[in-house]
Amino acid sequence: MILCGANSYEQKFYFDSACASLPQQVKDELKILCVTFVEDVGGILTVELDDASGDVRLSVRADEADYLFDEVGSELKIKQMQVQRRELFEALRAYYRVFFLHMSPEEAAAQDED
């Protein structure tokens, strides 16, 4: 499931309306994260939630003809975001497990301990 994404080519941001119940502060933080990323390195960034586990993945891709895209910089920036935004991504995983996989909060937390 693609939660949100930003596209530097079309200068657009996308947010999946299925997750409209997320707090506005979280939505804003995701928008800033995505837009800042594509402004810095270019390409298209998507924040995805694994359908089975709710794990958060950051995926980036670029057009073949985009010679300005910084592939190494994008990988480094993703690693940096994963560390700096760890709590946000953990909260998103718990949200997905509770609201989409219909787990109890306790079950969602127990999956992280496994």
pLDDT category, 107, cuts 50, 70, 90?
Answer: confident
Element (H, E) at 75: helix 71-84
> 42: domain range?
2-113
Query: 105-113 and 86-99 helices cross at what angle (nearest 10)?
Result: 130
pLDDT at 14: 96
For the entire predicted model, the pTM comes to 0.89
DSSP code at position 78: H
Q: Which two tokens stand for residue 114?
A: 């496994």
Q: Which two tokens stand for residue 74?
A: 């994008």
pLDDT at 38: 92
Element (H, E) at 5: strand 2-7
Residue 113 has pLDDT above 70, yes or no: no
Please state, rounded to an integer, the average pLDDT across all residues of the chain: 91
Beta bridge mates, 57: 48
Domains identified in the chain, total number? 1
pLDDT at 104: 87
More confident residue, 45 or 106: 45
Cα separation of the two ends of the chain: 23
Residue 11 has pLDDT above 90, yes or no: yes
